[in-house]
Structure 1
Amino acid sequence: MSKDWHSSHFCCWECDESLTGQRYVLRDDHPYCIKCYEGRFANNCEECNKSIGIESKDLSYKDRHWHEACFLCAKCRVSLVDKQFGSKLDKIYCGNCYDAQFASRCDGCGDIFKAGE
């Protein structure tokens, strides 16, 4: 038997608080108040270790998550949002920093080998 969805009985699936007139999130066909949803389902940011709430954009890569403002190069701290980046040793880097630290170099001239060379 399903829950009664009349407005007087529309409650959070977790804490049973009334959601009538309140913001809520629907997950797996169940309504949750914002507090319960974030406490149960929100990811923690790799950079600041704080919860990524519903008001924040959750950026993810290989099952790791960041706030949009925390998605930065580990070396130069430039934003990596909508940019190519590399990952090494559980850190993320902009293309320039990644190449400078990890790309193969020519034994003769020391230049970095770029893709296609």
Structure 2
Amino acid sequence: MSDSETICHKCNEVIQQRIITALGKTWHPEHFACKDCLKPITEATFNIQNGEPVCSDCFVSNYSGTCFGCKKPILERTIKAMEQSWHEECFVCAGPCKKPLVGTSFYERDGRPYCRIDFEQLFAARCADCSQPITENAIVALNAKWHRDCFKCKKCLKPITASTFAVEDNKPLCTACSD
């Protein structure tokens, strides 16, 4: 055997005619086969498991995850989030915006991902005065939650910062206006 002879990775015999080069190795065409079903791989694309070739059918059956979003096999890049596997294009906000969430922070509710804006609009507590989501510290009073700036006197409209206040028609009154 001379130095210029090409050896098949599978059978260790000299390759005389057509050569397949893949995975840094050379093969007889009939020996470049799926490691699982052992059928020759004739497609232009193939998959790799443990450094060995795998045909597309075996890859889908034996190795690919199923996308939590669309329930179809994942054949390319897999996004792992919330203990699930996703296609990159399927990992999007479950809220109305449907924005991609890959590479961003997100919120989870009932096993579904949300961007910050949709999460706040859908699930955050609402202020008893302005009805907007409360995303930071809230004042809890009169069986409701309030933004700090929205908890104001019903009459003079100044924010109530004292720990005591009066109530009129279930609305707060500062001590000055309650006299």
Q: Closer, same or farther in 2 for the Cα pair 1:80/1:21, shift >3 Å?
A: closer
Question: Residues 1-117 of structure 1: matches in 2 within 5 Å?
Answer: 4=11, 6-7=27-28, 8-19=30-41, 22-54=44-76, 57-76=77-96, 77-103=98-124, 111-113=134-136
Amino acid paired to 1:59: I
Q: Which amino acid aligns with 1:50?
A: K
User: How many angstroms apart in 2 are the aligned matches of 1:11 and 1:87?
Assistant: 43
SS of equivalent to 1:59: strand
How far did 1:106 drift?
6.9
**Residue 74 of structure 1, CA deviation:** 0.9
Q: Report the CA distance between 1:89 and its aligned residue.
A: 1.1
Q: How far is the alpha carbon of 1:96 from its aligned partner?
A: 1.0
Greater length-normalized contact order (CA 8 Å, ≥ 6 residues apart): 1
Aligned position for 2:152: none
Amino acid in structure 2 at the alignment position of 1:112:
T
Identity %: 27
> Separation in 1 of the partners of 2:134 and 2:42?
64
Report deviation, 1:29: 3.2
Mapped to 1, the partners of 2:74 and 2:101 lie a distance apart of: 17
Pairwise CA distance, 1:94 = 0.5
Question: Conserved in 2, the CA contact under 8 Å of 1:11 and 1:18?
Answer: yes
Is the helix fraction higher in 1 or 2? 1
Q: Which entry has the higher C-alpha Rg, 1 or 2?
A: 2
Given that residues 47 and 66 in structure 1 are in contact (C-alpha distance below 8 angstroms), is that contact kept between their aligned partners in structure 2?
yes
Question: SS of the residue aligned with 1:51?
Answer: coil
Between the aligned partners of 2:127 and 2:116, the Cα distance in structure 1 is: 18
1:35 aligned counterpart, secondary structure: helix
User: Aligned partners of 2:118, 2:43: CA distance in 1, in Å?
Assistant: 49
Q: Any idea what SS the aligned residue of 1:26 has?
A: strand
Aligned residue identity for 2:11: D
Equivalent position amino acid for 2:68 in 1:
E
Give 1:23 shift.
2.7
Write the deviation string for residues 36-59 of structure 1: whole angstroms up to 9, x where unpaired.
Answer: 1122111111111111123xx321
Relative to the length of structure 2, the TM-score reads 0.51
